């Protein structure tokens, strides 16, 4: 096979050293009736030339990858700079593993420390972990964490959270025996605060909101702050990190835990993964946080160095009493986000957020001029729901023009017929937006 580094004569020498006739002898302890008596039924092995040809052909069947993309809904078509790709392709980074041996893993450790710092700055939280699998699973972990801290077993979710995050939170809740209670959303696609307040009772550990919410709308976060303060429960905020280039950090409105999907920070769409979930919290909760954490220290020469720390929370030490079962996380994606934020810097992140928002506003303002479509709630960051008559037909026409016009809301909410959710990034041009408007019947 390929990828084995032995000359045939070396295998002979090794067998001789072991005084055995062949490799099969190494499996003499495996009972014969357990052994597979046939070859596995797999396709024949391909050479590199064949493999590349075949996979390229398969990749071309993903015609949508070439289209102008206005779909968001938790995964955004931001530009991934060449710098990011070049740096995460360094094999010292990508062929290493969890930095257990700190002295030879300072690259990964320092980068995670930078990542923790940058996410802390974005979210306003005191401490950040080294990443979780994605935005939805980081919410799942956050509800477990809040229930552990509060010693309660119920969380209330705003009705305007991503439906797949709600589904994931429910699955985590099923495991941890937490009652995950979603509320509904209003006709203007906002949290129904009154209902939320009614759902909170003595068993409730936390309220979860999303900012911006699933529909792109900016929530009245003061309400969340007031309700959670009044009820004495924790506030968990799921945030779009790019929006935090313009919007106040969730710490400003009382968040105790901030989670979110890190994909928009330098990670390609990849049909939904690998992405990364980020999580930050206040320093008093750090020992309750799941996942890896890197801390600063010194080596025996007194020089600054970094190391995995607070490991007494983790599964390899605490086993069934660990704060979480996380071992591998999304380190390389977190590295990509770190490099992305370094490269964009103060101004660049602000620019990307501003351009994305300005593009969304342009679409809204143009759409408003026409009676053919209806903007339900224009108070958004980079994504907006628009009501379009005869949507299915127009959607198909857009596809014919190699445009993905957005997400049809009835995918998740069957009653939301003829509603299209359209997302904007800095990559969308004025011309592309005009074409979309035209296809939706706004001339």
Partner 1 sequence: MQGIPLIFEKTKTGKEGFRLSPLEVPKVDLSETLGEDIVRDEVNLPEVSELDVIRHYTELSRMNFGVDNGFYPLGSCTMKYNPKINEEVAAMPGFTELHPYAPEEISQGTLEVMYDTQNLLAEITGMDNFTLQPAAGAHGELTGILIIKKYLEHKGEKRTKIIVPDSAHGTNPASASHGGFDIIKVKSDSEGLVDIEALKELVNEDVAALMLTNPNTLGLFEKNIFEISKILHEKGALLYYDGANLNAVMGIVRPGDMGFDVVHLNLHKTFSTPHGGGGPGSGAVGVKAFLRDFLPKPLAAQKGQMYYLDYDIPHSIGKIHGFYGNLGVVLKAYAYIKSLGAKGLKEASEIATLNASYLLKKIEDMFEVPEDILFKHEFVVSCNNWKEKFGVRALDVAKRLLDYGFHPPTIYFPLIVDEALMVEPTETESKDTLDAFADALRKIYQEAKEGPDFLKSAPHDTPVRRVDEVKAAREMKLIYEG
Among 151, 187, 347, 414, contact with partner 1 (rule: CB under 8 A): 347
Nearest to 283 by CA among 314, 305, 310, 304: 310
Nearest to 340 by CA among 76, 1, 53, 144: 76
Q: Which residues of 93-106 are buried (b: 16+ CB within 10 A; e: fewer)?
A: beeeeebeebeebb
Q: Which residues contact 241 (CB under 8 A, 6 or more apart)?
A: 119, 122, 260, 261, 262, 264, 265, 278, 337
Residue 229 or residue 316: which is nearer to partner 1 going by CB? 316
d(CA 210, CA 217) in angstroms, rounded, equals 9
Among 55, 201, 230, 438, contact with partner 1 (rule: CB under 8 A): 55
Task: Read off the DSSP letter of residue 82.
Answer: H
- What x-and-dash track marks residues 250-269 binding partner 1 by CB under 8 A? --x--------x------xx
Q: CB of 198: closest distance to partner 1 in angstroms?
A: 25
Secondary structure class of 115 (helix, strand, coil): helix
Residue 87 or residue 391: which is nearer to partner 1 going by CB? 87
Residue 96 or residue 186: which is nearer to partner 1 going by CB? 96
For residues 436 and 402, the answer to whether their CB atoms sit within 8 Å is no
Q: Is 181 in the site for partner 1 (CB under 8 A)?
A: no
d(CA 135, CA 124) in angstroms, rounded, equals 18
Q: Is 75 in the site for partner 1 (CB under 8 A)?
A: yes
Q: Is 21 in the site for partner 1 (CB under 8 A)?
A: no
> Among residue numbers 295 through 324, which ones bind partner 1 (CB under 8 A)?
295-307, 309-312, 314-322, 324
- The interface region with partner 1, picked from 168-176, 188-196, 197-205, 223-231 by CB under 8 A, is 168-176
Q: Is 203 in the site for partner 1 (CB under 8 A)?
A: no
Task: Count interface residues toward partner 1 (CB under 8 A).
Answer: 206
CA dihedral sign, ordered 232, 233, 238, 241? positive
Residue 200 or residue 307: which is nearer to partner 1 going by CB? 307
Among 77, 190, 256, 383, contact with partner 1 (rule: CB under 8 A): 77
Q: Is 399 in the site for partner 1 (CB under 8 A)?
A: yes
> Among residue numbers 356 through 395, which ones bind partner 1 (CB under 8 A)?
357-359, 361-362, 365, 379, 381
Residue 183 or residue 356: which is nearer to partner 1 going by CB? 356
- What x-and-dash track marks residues 101-140 binding partner 1 by CB under 8 A? xxxxxxxxxxx-xx-xxx-xxx---xxx-xx-xxxxx---
Q: What angle do CA 70, 76, 78 make, to 5 degrees?
A: 95
> Among residue numbers 404 through 433, which ones bind partner 1 (CB under 8 A)?
404, 407, 411, 426, 429-430, 433
Secondary structure class of 76 (helix, strand, coil): coil
> Among residue numbers 214 through 243, which ones bind partner 1 (CB under 8 A)?
218, 221-222
Task: Read off the DSSP letter of residue 437.
Answer: H
For residues 142 and 257, the answer to whether their CB atoms sit within 8 Å is yes
């Amino acid at each position: 096979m390929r990828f084995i580094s032995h000359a045939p004569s070396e295998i002979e020498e090794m067998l001789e050293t072991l005084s055995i006739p062949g490799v099969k002898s190494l499996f003499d302890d495996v009972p014969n009736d357990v052994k597979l008596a046939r070859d596995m039924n797999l396709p024949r092995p391909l050479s590199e030339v064949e493999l590349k040809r075949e996979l390229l052909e398969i990749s071309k069947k993903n015609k949508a990858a070439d289209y102008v993309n206005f779909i968001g809904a938790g995964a955004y078509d931001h530009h991934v700079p060449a710098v990011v790709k070049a740096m995460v392709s360094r094999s010292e980074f990508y062929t290493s593993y969890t930095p257990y041996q700190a002295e030879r893993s300072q690259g990964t450790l320092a980068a995670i420390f930078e990542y923790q710092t940058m996410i802390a700055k974005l979210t306003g939280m005191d401490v950040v972990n080294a990443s979780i699998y994605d935005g939805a699973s980081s919410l799942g972990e956050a509800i477990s964490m809040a229930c552990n801290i509060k010693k309660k077993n119920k969380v209330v979710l705003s009705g305007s959270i991503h439906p797949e995050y709600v589904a994931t939170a429910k699955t985590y809740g099923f495991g941890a025996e937490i009652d995950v209670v979603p509320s509904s959303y209003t006709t203007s696609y906002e949290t129904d605060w009154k209902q939320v307040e009614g759902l909170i009772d003595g068993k409730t550990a936390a309220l979860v909101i999303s900012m911006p919410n699933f529909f792109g709308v900016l929530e009245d976060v003061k309400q969340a702050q007031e309700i959670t303060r009044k009820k004495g429960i924790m506030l968990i905020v799921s945030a779009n990190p790019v929006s935090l280039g313009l919007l106040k950090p969730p710490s400003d409105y009382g968040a105790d835990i901030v989670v979110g999907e890190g994909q928009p920070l330098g990670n390609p769409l990849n049909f939904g993964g690998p992405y990364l979930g980020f999580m930050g919290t206040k320093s008093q909760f750090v020992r309750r946080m799941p996942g890896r954490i890197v801390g600063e220290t010194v080596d025996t020469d007194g020089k600054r160095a970094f190391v995995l720390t607070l490991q007494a929370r983790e599964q390899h030490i605490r086993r069934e009493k660990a704060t979480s079962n996380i071992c591998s996380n999304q380190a390389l994606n977190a590295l990509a986000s770190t490099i992305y934020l370094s490269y964009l810097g103060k101004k660049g992140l602000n620019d990307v957020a501003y351009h994305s928002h300005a593009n969304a506003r342009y679409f809204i303002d143009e759409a408003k001029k026409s009676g053919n479509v209806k903007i339900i709630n224009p108070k958004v960051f980079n994504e907006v729901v628009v009501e379009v008559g005869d949507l299915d037909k127009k959607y198909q026409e857009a596809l014919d023009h190699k445009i993905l016009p957005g997400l049809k809301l009835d995918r998740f909410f069957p009653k939301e017929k003829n509603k299209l959710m359209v997302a904007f990034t800095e990559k969308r041009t004025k011309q592309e937006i005009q074409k979309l408007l035209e296809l939706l019947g706004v001339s």
